[in-house]
Structure 1
Amino acid sequence: MKRSYYQKVAFLGILLLILLAFKEYTSTKKENFQDVKFVTEKVDPLLLVEFNPNDLDEQQWQNLGFTSKQVSTILNYKKIIGGIFTSKEQLKRCYAISNDKFLEIHPYILLPETSKEAKTHSSKDSDKKRVTVSRKFNPDYFSVKEWIEIGFSEKQAQAILKYKNYLGGSFVSKEKFKDCFIINDENYQLLAPYLILPEKTPQNYKSFTKNSEGLKLTIQLKPFDPNVLDIEGWQSLGFSQNQARTIVNYRDKNLKGHFKNQDEIKKCFVISPEKFEELKPYIKIHKPQIKEKKTEVIQQKTDFTTIDLNSITYKQLLEFGLDERSAGSIIGFRRKLGGFINKQQILDTYNIDRDIVQKLISTCKLDSSHIAKYTLTDAPEEWLKNHPYFKYSADKIILYRQSNSDDKKIWKLLKLKPEYETRMKLYLK
């Protein structure tokens, strides 16, 4: 009995040693994380501007602060879900994007908040009328009337044309046509056999631009000043409308309206290193001419206590003591706004002598009763696209109001920062 007892004890001891050795081996293996880079690793602060994640290539994702492994995961996830992100909610599900990183980029993502919102426009009318087509056609040449004739509602037809304009005036391929959120899978299957479009998007798609008829044109580069280009000017260099808008926003908001050197252009994350090298020989930045500030104050002949800041003239501003640059900035900003609503807007004007302007607004009165105001649903498109407070959200407002007649619903869809919403409401009924 003693011999049997000692054998059992010896067996248990050997088993215990084996388990301890196995635990040590596996714990050592698990601790080897030298090559792993976590999503939450700290990066330098980024200058973020609005962007559509569907437009970004690998380098541009890296410029947003992601590692190459994270970017690879994001792009693979994009392929798995059908090649396009339809909402912020869907993008957030990608495990390569941490919660902290998503919260950082969330305000700048040009996508609906949820997939349900992205499909709202198409789901409302999808069962009302069946789409029918009996002949092959090129959708690039279809008008609103023709889209209605084959079964789409008027609002859906308008949204399809706006999507075409967003792509640069042409659907390019069946792949791009399918990405239009107004066209659900069922309707696409019905239309696909009749579409006169290439099956796949050309690999060199971004190296072409389109004219007003939607035809591809090879880009002819020539010297240009990046500080005078508008959205259409950047599009003519081969950028999409959304990328062009991002570049203009980056210049006007982050750099106060002026690229000082080529390095600042290179830092804009929607401009890939390859594209920058292509444009670099043609970039000609002209330094702004800064006129010497006048030290002499012209003798006042006007009673400025009776002058309205919304009607004060350039000469009167000079008479009050402002230099030409400050006077021109105030008059120009007032013209773009359609008039000042409050005096703080004058102080917010760029390139002014704040001390003299403070005296000006303390002296003069401000009458804003004549300024035109609208609602989000009835504001003219041209007014939205040209007004400094609305132009960066104009396309989204125009799109959302096609299926929403209530301003409150449109505000919820826009998801703007409180300060942007506050200043926009100054010009709304």
Structure 2
Amino acid sequence: MKYFLLLTYLQEKVSMRTREFFSLLLLIPIVLLCLYTPQVYKKIQSILNTGQKDNLTYLVLESTPFIKTFDPNFATPQEWKKYGIPFYLGERIVKFRLKGGQFYEKSDLKKINGMTTELFSLVSPYLIINKQYLPKPQKGNYRKSYKPVIKKKKLKLLSFNPNDVQKQELEAMFFPSSIIKSLIGYRKAGGVLKVKRDFLKLYGVDSVFYKSISDSILLPEDLLIKKKIIYSVDINTGTLEDFKKLSGIGEVRANKIISYRNKLGGSFYKKEQLLEIYGIKDVYNDIVSQLVFKDGSIIKIEVNTVSYEKLATHPYISYKQARWIINYRKQHGPYTSIIDLLKIKTINEQDLENIIPYLSFRK
């Protein structure tokens, strides 16, 4: 019975102590709320009166003092967030530093896009900038070093020939150094300016600059175009020099024409045969009107007396056909007409159509 009474007494004591402890814990936030309620109320009332409702997010952060300070040139986005700066804005500040940006004064922070006056006022009391670790500040953009703009001198033009004018003379006329270098290099490479507009070929010369100096250039506006003399050549009697006078025909092509003419037996029977020569097709339309072809100038092949060697080298007869023609003549005697050639199996009508203008059946 005694033990029961003692246990009951101890339970009551512990229960009382527990209630006192939890009552004390509940009392602490109530006391803090009572202490800060007037300040918070005044701040809310001030913000509502000025219409700056967006700043309510940072009200508690501003009301609660931070003792720790930090350098904006080294802070992470997480550290910025502790002082009321949104995380995305903290990332933007860090990216600015990674690209070479630095904060030399607190006010430099205002240049960051999104850093409002309210956010700057919120965080500026805790900023400390250690300038001994910063590079020497540059004027203008922190990430770029701009060269001073050099004002161009006005040209003092004198008449000059660009093919022999000296570098010193151009410098005295205040020509840009890049254009002087381009002109000298062009001449050293063997270039010659023939007309005024050739000056535009130089690197760095645009139409505006050319127009400003064109009157001072001692060159003609245009070259006199010589009247082209049109030659005519007999396709079957023309010489190497005659063919070279034709448009687009040089020594190589002229030699090809004469060589092919010799293979045909010494003559063409129509102008279109030139198309069979390699390299003539490209210029044929330019020269066809200058070619003369006279009827009766074809050199014939005496089929009854011609040798195998001469016949086999003709462009329109193969070696095999030439051998059959000679063998047929030996076996059956002289040819009397084209019909006799058709008796040879290796020769068809298409072959004869090409060769027949050259054949003579005289006995």
Q: Would you call these one fold, judging by a TM-score over 0.5?
A: no
Q: TM-score, length-normalised on structure 2? A: 0.32
* Greater relative contact order (CA < 8 Å, ≥ 6 in sequence): 1
Q: TM-score, normalised by structure 1?
A: 0.27
Larger radius of gyration: 2
